[in-house]
Amino acid sequence: MIELETSYLFVFQKGNNDFFPIERHARNDEEIIEIKTFFEGRSDRGSIKTELIGPASNWSNLLWETSEQEARDSISVDVFGVNETGEETILYEKLLDKNVDLTSISAIQYPYLKLNWNTKDQVNLTPSQLDYWRVLYEPFPE
């Protein structure tokens, strides 16, 4: 058995003979490697997750908006609280309201938040587009 000590990435697209596989090997265990490529395809669902938001001394509101939404599309946002040790806890799940009051979230217990946007279109396979999402909060003074 071969034991690898460095990162390795391999990307291919199943069923697409025109897509040339891409691979990268890290030269050492400290090197960060990445591959940027474009895949064309159709899926009935997708999601986007934010990086950490905060730290906050007080949480205020979540505002979000979409476009290209069709009648049968399903869209929602999940809100995760993140504590000082990085542990994530789901606080709100499948939010449909596009202006959400976050003042009930304790910034002491959850100084950080993460958001997850979900979209699904099982009819036309054309998911809605997220135009923006904003979390309003009071940061700590510098």
pTM here?
A: 0.68
Domains of the chain and any CATH numbers: 1-41 (no CATH), 45-139 (2.60.120)
Above 70 in pLDDT, residue 123?
Answer: yes
CA distances from 41 to 37, 67, 129 (A): 13, 20, 16
Return the pLDDT at 136. Answer: 96
Segment 36-65, tens digit of pLDDT: 877 666 677 778 899 999 999 999 999 998
User: Above pLDDT 90, what percent of the chain?
Assistant: 43
AA letter at 77: V
Q: Which comes out higher in pLDDT, residue 141 or 112? A: 112
For residue 130, which of 48, 52, 54 has the smallest C-alpha distance?
Answer: 48
14 backbone dihedrals φ, ψ, rounded to 5°: -60, 135
- pLDDT tens track for 101-114: 999 999 999 999 99
Q: What is the spatial distance between Cα 126 and Cα 119, in angstroms, rounded to a whole number?
A: 10
Long-range contacts of 39-43 (CB under 8 A, 24+ apart): 39/13, 41/13, 42/125, 43/125, 43/127
Write down the pLDDT at residue 71: 67
Mean pLDDT of the chain: 86
3-state secondary structure of 138: strand
3-state secondary structure of 31: coil
